Amino acid sequence: STVVSYLPVSPGEQIDSARADLALKALFRTDLFSDVKIDFQNGDLIITVVENPIINRVIFEGNSGLKEDKLRDEVTVRPRGIFTRAKVQGDVSRIVELYRRSGRISATVTPQIIELPQKRVDLIFKIDEGPKSGILSVNFLGNKAFSDNDLRDVVVTEETRWFKFFSNNANYDPDR
């Protein structure tokens, strides 16, 4: 009944290849199915689908630099949501970007899927944060009107020093 509800055709209706293609695209757009096949046999429309699994749990492992709540807010996959590889890859990119902005340029995220019974999966994001990147020095080229020290006082980015452990501006962020 779920498949029929998404079809742009109704029982008894004549269907051509253009309408079959439209039906195929409509079913894929739902993200409920990982594979959809449409066949014609003796005047009947046969639709074969493979369901996407449902996410049971989303787990983060290896995160100490960022809190789990911040990571949960960033990802789009949720428990009891539909699992698709595209969503997971997008979330991996978001997590890596979040770490990049916090000064961990070499962070890597590896998604791991544990298949469970009844078409469910546990999704684990294994995070390797890597070392925190700092700024050894801030230099200015071509300045003639102001000294380097005057310009350093104006810019947001700061050099990493042991006594600046509370400062977020001493971490390398290419956007800053």
* More confidently predicted of 32 and 166: 32
Q: What is the DSSP pairing of strand 108-116 with strand 54-61? A: unpaired
Q: What is the DSSP letter of 67?
A: -
Task: For residue 114, give the amino acid letter.
Answer: I
Q: Residue 3 pLDDT > 90, yes or no?
A: no
CB 111 within 8 A of CB 88: yes
Instruction: Answer for the pair 75, 67: CB distance below 8 angstroms, yes or no.
Output: no
Query: 3-class DSSP state for residue 58?
Result: strand
Query: Average pLDDT of the chain?
Result: 85
Q: Is the pLDDT of residue 134 over 80?
A: no
pLDDT of residue 164: 55
Sequence-distant (≥ 6) Cβ neighbours of residue 121 within 8 angstroms: 53, 54, 55, 56, 83, 113, 114, 115
- pTM, 2 dp: 0.70
Q: In terms of Cα–Cα distance, which of 49, 29, 30 is closest to 38?
A: 49
Q: Contact, 146 vs 134, CB < 8 A?
A: no
> Could you report the per-residue pLDDT of 80-94, keeping only the tens digit for each?
999 999 999 999 999
Burial class from Cβ neighbours inside 10 Å (0-12, 13-18, 19+) for residue 19 reads middle
Identity of the amino acid at 128:
D
Q: Give bridge partners of residue 61 from the DSSP assignment.
A: 126
Which of the residue ranges 1-15, 52-66, 100-114 would you say has the lowest mean pLDDT? Answer: 1-15
SS3 85: helix
What type of residue is 44? Answer: D
Tell which wins on pLDDT, 138 or 173.
Answer: 138
